Amino acid sequence: MKPFDIVIVGGGGAGLYAAMEAMKTNPALNIAVLTKVYPNRSHTSAAQGGANAALGNKAKDDTVEMHIFDTIKGSDYLADQDAVDVLCSEAPKIIRELENIGTPWSRMEDNTIAQRPFGGAGRPRCCYCADKTGHTILQTLYEQCLRKGVIFFNEYFALSLSVQGSRSRGLMAMNMKSGKVEAFPARTVIFATGGYAKMYWNRSSNAAGNTGDGQAIAYRAGIPMKDMEFVQFHPTGLRKSGLLVTEGARGEGGFLINKDGERFMARYAKEKMELGPRDLVSRSIETEILEGRGFDSPAGKYIHLDLTHLGADLIKSRLPQIREMSLNFEGVDPIEEPIPVRPTAHYSMGGIDTDNFGRTVMDGVYAAGECACVSVHGANRLGGNSLLDILVFGRIAGHTAAEEAGKFEPGKISEEEIKASVDELRSSMQPSGHYERYGALREELGQTLALNVGIFREASLLKQGIRDISELKERFKKVRVFDSSDVFNTNLMQVLELKNMLDLAETVAIGALAREESRGSHTRIDFPVRDDEKWHKHTLATLVNGKTTPGEKPVTMGRYELQERTY
Amino acid sequence: MNSRKELINHFALMTEIIDQHQEGKRDVTFRVFRFNPQVDSKPYFDDYTISAERGITVLRSLNYIKEHVDPSLSFRAFCQAGICGSCGMRVNGTSKLSCTSQVWDELDKCREPGIIKVEPLRSMPIIKDLIVDMDPLVDKMKRYSNWIDSTMPLAEMGKKEFLVSEEEFHRYDKATDCILCASCVSECSILRANKEYVSPAVLLKSYRMNVDSRDSIHDVRLAELVKDHGVWDCTHCYRCQESCVKSIPIMEAIHSIREDALECRGPKDTSGAKHAEAFMEDIEKKGKLVEATLPIRTNGVVWTLRNLLPMAMKMIVKRRTPPPPPLVKPAKGIKIFRAMFREMSEHVKQDHLKSHKK
């Protein structure tokens, strides 16, 4: 195959924006987007609530500076302040740009883009399209990529980076339709593969494919992962499935109620109540449940998200998807009854360590979106900042790669390397003798993570988690792929996804054990307070000679000094 | 804070409760379409019987079968929450998302009691089992410019917002719910006969773009839509709208494109438009169709002679020819009908002024 200038792995918001921007930066470049699902299926489509930008349409006194402060405070001061500057100052421009190319934003009475309040934000600055914001943004970006003639390799599963010394020569991927391993020699590679929170399996709001493929590939190629221990639990997942009820539901005025009928958030965040930041609301719900004030049901304990007082009209016009999901997956109509919810693993703050331009430590390799860690979210991401992150940093990574592609020689991937990759794939498919089922391993991984590396953490639990994960990794070697077909072998794909989750789960648990403090989403029962002296820093996890090797990186400070984080 | 022990107890209790929740189970057979082009010369069905609890979806059942019974069973699934559109398939003969289809609801719709039939979407090439090729749909999105070509100059992008009225937003709000699951594509009766046909999903998207004031290529898109295999080929069977998983009024969008085409391009523009015009003319005059001259008025004399003469001869032999125009008498009560017809036409015109930008 002719070498590409840029190969983008992942066709969600970050990947598509990167492709669009790279083509705009230099139309002469040979750019491809490689994705394991059709781009319009990507998990960006599931983002319901919106994207933050200080447009000032709703609150005239809103400023970029206030958005910056809210984000830094929300991150529990672990975000890099220069990166947050970029995120928030680019926000109004990027929201308008999306508007200009067709995103159907909901509107205010004066016909400007509508905004609503969101958790942890001092002003209503979350721009939205009903409760299908991510879906409409993804559609818009996909439409524009089709317009510009971006080359798509749909349903290709990325396998590994081809590395020579300190730089990448391209990528190896499996064509799902044919089962063939194909080489994608490239000057630059951008990872935009989304998050890894699906490793919590049934206790996760994520799509089945959010298995951290990009991070795992980069990690195995020796690129460091940053702040992996920070996994955000969304306060309101549906009780049975873990599927998400958007924060928009609380933004519109929904109440959280325990079994005594109390709006219990008064105990934890007197001022912000239900619109406190996610980590705090999740912990509050979990505490209510642990202290016996939750509801009980065969499908587990839960609390109520009550929207009934909002009225049928508002629910139908602003939260139609939520209503549909509650009906489909809980059999509850939120117009009439409260929705049963509990916290669910939702977002990975950690990811591939990048600078503010999307560069990783490896020449020619970039990352953006949830799979990257710049870091703008630090220890806890604010609602409405993830769509913003993928848009802003997707664009920046696309721009940087387009500018820098010329610096790198076109990559070449030898036949031997392709053959080695095929052999590795084949050998892993048919172990002899005793074998393991991937489905069982996947479920056990989710269980041990939810139990030992969940919302409340403790040294002994975390150690158990690490032991469990390494045992699962050992058992993984015996997993058998039963489907022997070359054509669309989803059995093989799911096994490879499990491998990616197992590799990353180890870095999450090790990071969580190392960080002896409580900050943002990371809550240690045995170290209940934030310890700035020892732990105001990023953690790194790098694979050296097959072993996870810890490292650290300072947090870039700026205008804002460390403060206690209260709401 | 609670001790670790309490924490573990909490989780153990939860697991135990879930295990106890065994009531409300039924044995259900899934009769699943199988085809692996590498080994099978033709498709066949496999039966999988599992114990399914109340509340379980068809997709979760398929996941269970894949994990525990037959890992080679192949289908697409991603978000599992009804928003990504990956898991479109035919369940008991109807195209829908398997992730939002309840097994117990489906049990009421089985042709054979207790057997839920699961097949791939129709009108798209089959890749394997329940997986069909989406590329033809994407190609059509490209052909019909299913994107906004913004009136905002490139240099001005991101600097200011377009002001969009609530009223305009509502014109395309529902259409932007489309998740391209292709259920409508699978149910469309035209597509089954003609794979070149634009398809309902692409018509819907085209409509959504055409009523957006930010777009600059309305005329280009419309010119493509009125060509062969385009908007005039739809036969109003409403299957697309009935099967839409997001309850989008797709037929309304198709009607809107047609009205828009008649208005912008004139009734003599394409054979589809001429056909519609001839229809209206007959109905207004006589309250019924003058079938004998309909082909000529739609496609012209030359085309009619070349294409329909052999059939006309056969019809004469079989004495099945429609009556000649002078013999088609106005229907009974034509005066009242005409008054109603005119009133309706006036309504439609008013609606147009209200809902279409010009």
| Residue B201, min C-alpha distance to chain A (Å) | 13
* pLDDT the model gives residue B353: 65
Q: Is the peptide bond before A375 cis (omega within 30 degrees of 0)?
A: yes
Is residue B1 pLDDT above 50, yes or no? Answer: no
A96 shares contact with chain B (CB less than 8 Å): yes
Of the candidates A145, A127, A259, A257, which has an alpha carbon nearest to the alpha carbon of residue A192? A145
- Dig out the tokens for A220 from the structure: 């195995």
pLDDT band for B9, please (50, 70, 90 cuts).
Answer: low
Instruction: Count CB neighbours of A91 within 10 A.
Output: 27
The ipTM assigned to this model is 0.92
Nearest chain B Cα to A238, which residue?
B81
| Residue A217, min C-alpha distance to chain B (Å) | 21
Of the candidates A297, A307, A290, A292, which has an alpha carbon nearest to the alpha carbon of residue A236? A307
Backbone φ, ψ for residue A404 (5° rounding): -95, -10
Q: Which residues of A513-545 are buried (b: 16+ CB within 10 A; e: fewer)?
A: bebebbbbbbbbbebeebeeeebbebbbbbbee
Q: Residue A291: list chain B partners with CB under 8 A.
A: 2
Residue written as token pair 């409508």: B184
Half-sphere exposure of A62 (CA within 13 A, CB side): 25
Query: A235-344 has which fold?
Result: Flavocytochrome C3; Chain A, domain 1 (3.90.700)
CB A526 within 8 A of CB A459: yes
Residue written as token pair 């997707």: A394
Instruction: Count CB neighbours of B5 within 10 A.
Output: 8
Is residue B358 pLDDT above 60, yes or no? Answer: no
* pLDDT the model gives residue B7: 53
Nearest chain A Cα to B66, which residue?
A491
The total number of residues shown for chain A amounts to 567
> Is the alpha carbon torsion for B279, B283, B284, B290 positive or negative?
positive
CB A382 within 8 A of CB A69: no
A104 shares contact with chain B (CB less than 8 Å): yes
* pLDDT the model gives residue B21: 45
| Residue B134, min C-alpha distance to chain A (Å) | 8
Mean of per-residue pLDDT scores for chain B: 89
Q: Residue A296: list chain B partners with CB under 8 A.
A: 17
- Look at strands A31-35 and A151-154 and give their pairing: parallel
Candidates B121, B176, B220: best to mutate against A (most CBs of A within 10 A) is B176
Candidates B11, B17, B70, B78: best to mutate against A (most CBs of A within 10 A) is B78
CB A208 within 8 A of CB B80: yes
- Dig out the tokens for A371 from the structure: 């799979």
May I ask the CATH class of domain A427-535?
mainly alpha
Element (H, E) at B67: helix B58-68
Distances in whole angstroms, Cα of residue A337 to Cα of each of A167, A256, A309, A312:
57, 13, 10, 11
* pLDDT the model gives residue B6: 57
A436 shares contact with chain B (CB less than 8 Å): no
- Domains of chain B, first to last: 25-132 (3.10.20.30), 135-265 (1.10.1060.10), 283-355 (no CATH)
Residues in chain A with pLDDT values less than 50: none
Q: Residue A438: list chain B partners with CB under 8 A.
A: 67
Full DSSP string of B12-56 = HHHHHHHHH---SEEEEEEEEEE--TTT-SS-EEEEEEEEEETT-
Of the candidates A448, A452, A238, A456, which has an alpha carbon nearest to the alpha carbon of residue A342? A238
A107 is annotated as an active-site residue: no
- Non-local CB neighbours of A410 within 8 Å, separated by 6+ positions: A3, A185, A186, A187
Instruction: Count CB neighbours of A30 within 10 A.
Output: 15
The total number of residues shown for chain B amounts to 358
* pLDDT the model gives residue A95: 98
* pLDDT the model gives residue A136: 97
Maximum alpha-carbon separation in chain A: 70
Please state the rounded mean pLDDT for residues B75-79.
Answer: 97
CB B121 within 8 A of CB B185: yes
Domain with CATH 1.20.58.100 in chain A: 427-535
Backbone φ, ψ for residue A36 (5° rounding): -85, -10
Q: Residue B57: list chain A partners with CB under 8 A.
A: 328
Domain with CATH 3.90.700.10 in chain A: 235-344
Distance, CA of B120 to CA of B126 (rounded, Å): 8
Q: Which residues of A407-427 are buried (b: 16+ CB within 10 A; e: fewer)?
A: ebeebebeeebbeebbeebee
To the nearest 10°, report the CA torsion of A70, A71, A74, A80: -130
Is residue B25 pLDDT above 90, yes or no? Answer: no
List A residues 300-319 in contact with B (Cβ-Cβ < 8 A).
Answer: 300-301
Is residue B16 pLDDT above 70, yes or no? Answer: no
* pLDDT the model gives residue B156: 95
To the nearest 10°, report the CA torsion of A310, A316, A319, A324: 120
Of the candidates B279, B300, B277, which has an alpha carbon nearest to the alpha carbon of residue B289? B279
- Non-local CB neighbours of A472 within 8 Å, separated by 6+ positions: A441, A444, A445, A448, A502
A178 shares contact with chain B (CB less than 8 Å): no
Is A43 in Cβ contact with B147 (below 8 Å)? no
- Look at strands A351-353 and A372-373 and give their pairing: parallel
Q: Which of A41, A116, A278, A395 is catalytic?
A: A278
| SS3 state of residue A26 | coil
Element (H, E) at A448: helix A438-452
* pLDDT the model gives residue B319: 86
* pLDDT the model gives residue A230: 98
Q: In what order do the strands lie in the sheet with A231-238?
A: A231-238, A339-348, A303-306, A255-257
* pLDDT the model gives residue A206: 95
Is residue B151 pLDDT above 50, yes or no? Answer: yes
DSSP state of A244: B
Distance, CA of A388 to CA of A95 (rounded, Å): 8
List A residues 2-31 in contact with B (Cβ-Cβ < 8 A).
Answer: none
A295 shares contact with chain B (CB less than 8 Å): no
* pLDDT the model gives residue B274: 87
Is residue B158 pLDDT above 90, yes or no? Answer: yes
Element (H, E) at B258: helix B250-265
Of the candidates A365, A94, A40, which has an alpha carbon nearest to the alpha carbon of residue A224? A365
pLDDT tens digits, B318-355 = 888 888 888 888 888 888 888 888 888 888 777 766 65
Candidates A444, A487, A524: best to mutate against B (most CBs of B within 10 A) is A487
DSSP state of B317: H
> Distance between alpha carbon A360 and the CA centroid of its chain, in Å?
18
Is B145 in Cβ contact with A132 (below 8 Å)? no
Full DSSP string of A59-97 = STT--HHHHHHHHHHHTTT-S-HHHHHHHHHHHHHHHHH
CB B40 within 8 A of CB B34: yes
pLDDT band for B273, please (50, 70, 90 cuts).
Answer: confident
Of A426-430, B16-20, B161-165, B188-192, minimum mean pLDDT range: B16-20
Q: Residue B82: list chain A partners with CB under 8 A.
A: 324-325, 328
CB-nearest partner of B177 from A41, A97, A132: A132
Distance, CA of B256 to CA of B207 (rounded, Å): 7
Full DSSP string of A310-376 = G-HHHHHHH-HHHHHHHHHHH---TTTSPEEEEEEEEEE--EEE--TTSB-SSBTEEE-GGGEE-SS
DSSP state of A519: B
Mean of per-residue pLDDT scores for chain A: 94
